[in-house]
Amino acid sequence: MELDNDTHISEFLLLGFSEEAELQPLIFGLFLSMYLITVLGNLLIILAVSSASHLHTPMYFFLANLSFVDICFTSTTVPKMLWNIQTQSKVITYAGCITQMYFFIFCAGLDIFLLTVMAYDRFVAICHPLHYIVIMNPWLCGLLVLVSWILSALNSLLQTLMVLPLSFCTGMKIPHFFCDLNQVLRLACSDTFLNDTMMYFATVLLGGGPPAWILYSYSKIVSSIRGISSAQGKYKAFSTCASHLSVVSLFCCTGLGVYLSSAVNQSSRSSAVASVMYTVVTPMLNPFIYSLRNRDIKRALKRITGIPAM
């Protein structure tokens, strides 16, 4: 590796969770299992939505997009970590690190935007049911997803491009299982004030704006549900929102907590462990959360897998 101030380095070292050799098979098996469950579960959701005509609605259209992004989100980090464990190598090239960083930030931002769009969909469905079909028309649904992709791509591109001019002249060991932007900036020997400012600004903006809209939507939803006279109607309205609210809480709370705590806590290893919650665990749990309480999804999944419907 070249460590000269005027040249870029050629590679980084991803230290992962532990350097103890006896723990590597356990870590490999655990993350391989979670990755396979994530990919299989989210693929089944996508197949269920695309193959069942009664699921061709805005809510399930957004859910299929979220499942696709969750597969991509996990695939940006876990396969490389598994490969490094299998080959007993910790190396990731500079280009590979930048690429991984771009797609990680892109998928994380897209996840947040899609969860916000899904909250808006539930808000319209429950608070304005008579106008739902008119408001949530295919054109608007496609536009909301397109805007989410564009904003996520621009944010990721800006933050990644700002890393390229930096010089690295210290130890190139990243105490993480992927190229986390915050950890990479700590290795730079050039001034990272603009990078840090941009990173925390984006974190506060994405971690504050979308969740604020989600909370506002659900405050209106709760008010509307309280106005429903029948207990069965209240339960049906609440059941359509409970899964989404669970996913939002799990993803936003863990993700925002990791990045805000990194400003005051310098324990990189604990940050790596905490990052597993929103980078691996949440995408793995999403299919279960959305399918266990949803009869339409369960019926479509049973048809796909050949299990007789009860």
**Residue-level pLDDT at 1:** 43
Give the separation between CA 8 and CA 4, rounded to whole angstroms.
8
Structural domain includes residue 67: yes
**Residue-level pLDDT at 3:** 42
Asked if residue 238 has pLDDT above 80, the reply is: no
Which of 250, 254, 230, 231 has the alpha carbon at shortest distance from 242? 250
Structural domain includes residue 194: yes
Which of 196, 185, 188 has the alpha carbon at shortest distance from 169? 188
What's the pLDDT tens digit per position in 56-90? 899 899 999 999 999 999 999 999 999 999 998 89
Q: Scan for tokens 């590679």, then name that residue.
A: 11
Dihedral, 32, 96, 189, 194 alpha carbons, nearest 10: -90
What's the pLDDT tens digit per position in 268-310? 666 777 788 888 888 998 888 877 667 778 777 777 776 655 5
> 295: how many CB neighbours lie within 10 A of its CB?
10
Query: What is the residue type of 251?
Result: F
> 232: how many CB neighbours lie within 10 A of its CB?
8
- Angstrom CA distances, 126 to 54, 61, 131, 219, stand at 19, 18, 10, 12
Mean pLDDT of all residues in 35-54: 92
Q: Listing from the earlier edge strand, what are the strands of the sheet with 11-14? A: 91-93, 11-14, 173-174
What's the pLDDT tens digit per position in 195-230? 888 888 887 888 778 888 888 888 888 888 777 666
Which of 48, 115, 65, 78 has the alpha carbon at shortest distance from 296? 48
Higher pLDDT, 265 or 103: 103
Which of 199, 292, 215, 287 has the alpha carbon at shortest distance from 253? 215
Structural domain includes residue 5: no
Structural domain includes residue 300: yes
Give the separation between CA 155 and CA 159, rounded to whole angstroms.
6
What's the pLDDT tens digit per position in 139-183? 999 999 999 999 999 999 999 999 999 988 766 888 889 998 888
Contacts for 253 with CB less than 8 Å, ≥ 6 apart: none
**Residue-level pLDDT at 4:** 44
Q: How many domains does the chain have?
A: 1
Asked if residue 262 has pLDDT above 60, the reply is: no
Give the structural domain span for 196. Answer: 11-305
237 close to 222: Cβ distance less than 8 angstroms: no
Structural domain includes residue 1: no
Q: Scan for tokens 């669970």, then name that residue.
A: 246
13 SS3 class? strand
Task: Kindly state the percentage of the chain with pLDDT values over 70.
Answer: 84
- Tell me phi and psi for residue 168, to 5 degrees: -125, 120
Structural domain includes residue 4: no
Which CATH number does the domain housing residue 107 bear? 1.20.1070.10
pTM of the model: 0.88
Q: Angle, nearest 10°, between helix axes 268-276 and 231-261?
A: 160
Structural domain includes residue 245: yes
Confidence of residue 53 (pLDDT cuts 50, 70, 90): confident
**Residue-level pLDDT at 175:** 86
Structural domain includes residue 227: yes
Asked if residue 5 has pLDDT above 60, the reply is: no
94 SS3 class? helix
